[in-house]
Amino acid sequence: MRETDTPSNGDEQPSTQPVVASRRDVLRTAATSALVASLGVAGVTTASAVEDGDDADDAGIVDYDLGTSRYAVGDPEGLPEILFGDDLEIRGTIWLPTTNCHTVELVDLEYDTERSHLTMTVADGLEDHVDDESDCSDTQVPIRYTLTVDFEDGLPETVTAIEDDAETTRQLTVASDGSALPPAPSSLEAVSVTDSAAELEWDGDADAYAVYVDGDLATEVDETAATVDGLESDATYEVAVTAVDGDGVESMPATTTVTTEEGEGAFELDVNGDGNPAQDLTGDGLYEDITGDGNLGFNDVVTFFEEHNGDTIQNNVEYFDFSGNGGVGFNDVVALFERL
């Protein structure tokens, strides 16, 4: 990486004006690719271009250059500019905590080639010559930076620029057509997982959120929590959450991997003793497939009527309480019949 001081340029070209992007232009490919990457499938190459100060040519980035201009005119509270041209240019302003000891530091430059997404993070950092910060001034000063990135196989489809300085943290994601995407959710995690469902929580301040399971829309919510159900037991899913703004534009996804628990009691639920345990076909925790043939039909109702007082069912009431009254009796046979 090369870092140089350059004069302030009063003729900087303005950033591209955001336009509304298609709601799912980015999400499906990104979420699916994230799943492939999490499983370690060959062909996915996600690499950071800043590692121990070395350029990473094999990450799809040919070269990059960070230039700075002290005391430059710029809006220290404004978002960075992301410009797509012959190469990629990111411009912004960082507030330095001191005038004589700090500079702009490129903290991370990560290019996910499979998703065609670049993430850049700049922050204030100490100059190399500083040994004792007690000699530093206490006057904050803005510094203008320009990062230019040259890619091996064309520009990325989306870019996220993050600025972290003495004042605040700012973030902007832009697609190559100039459309601005809302900030992605953060801190996505599964706070509770059963054999058929997962409770999710994340941080964000968007108008709404879309939740995807393996690339398919599972639910939309207006809060920073959601439950996805109907999952198979002992299975791994890639869950993605995007922020959705008032125009229906979606952010890049925050992703996590969820592995459901093994189905509880499945080995005990052989209702009629033929070696085919009952199954939960809908993921609601109730085992309506009494005969275990993979379908719900009249035979299941008949078998349930004949066996509902047996030990297998009476010792596992929670799996056969179709009427929801806390026990298993003829009402549950009727409730199962009504599911046909």
Evaluate if residue 140 carries a pLDDT over 50.
yes
Cα(122)–Cα(134) distance, rounded to whole angstroms?
Answer: 24
Residue 85, C-beta contacts closer than 8 angstroms, at least 6 positions apart: none
Last residue of a domain, one of 244, 259, 274: 259
Q: Are residues 198 and 273 in the same domain?
A: no
Q: Are 250 and 210 in contact (CB under 8 A)?
A: yes
When pLDDT is averaged across residues 300-326 and rounded to a whole number, the result is 93
Structural domain span for residue 232: 186-259
Closest CA to 94 of 109, 120, 72: 72
Q: pLDDT digits over 221-236, tens only?
A: 999 999 999 898 889 9
pLDDT band at 55 (very low <50, low <70, confident <90, very high): very low
Do 275 and 232 share a structural domain? Answer: no
Q: What's the rounded mean pLDDT across residues 81-104?
A: 86
Structure token digits, residue 109: 């430059």
251 is a domain residue: yes
Domain boundary among 259, 274, 298: 259
Q: Of residues 30 and 197, which shows the higher confidence score?
A: 197
Shared domain check, 219 and 98: no
Q: Which of 8-12, 44-48, 279-283 has the highest mean pLDDT?
A: 279-283
Task: Judge contact between 120 and 108, C-beta under 8 A.
Answer: yes
Q: Is residue 286 part of a domain?
A: yes
Number of domains in the chain: 3
Q: Is residue 37 a part of any domain in this protein?
A: no
> Residue 121: inside a domain, yes or no?
yes
Predicted pLDDT of residue 114: 85
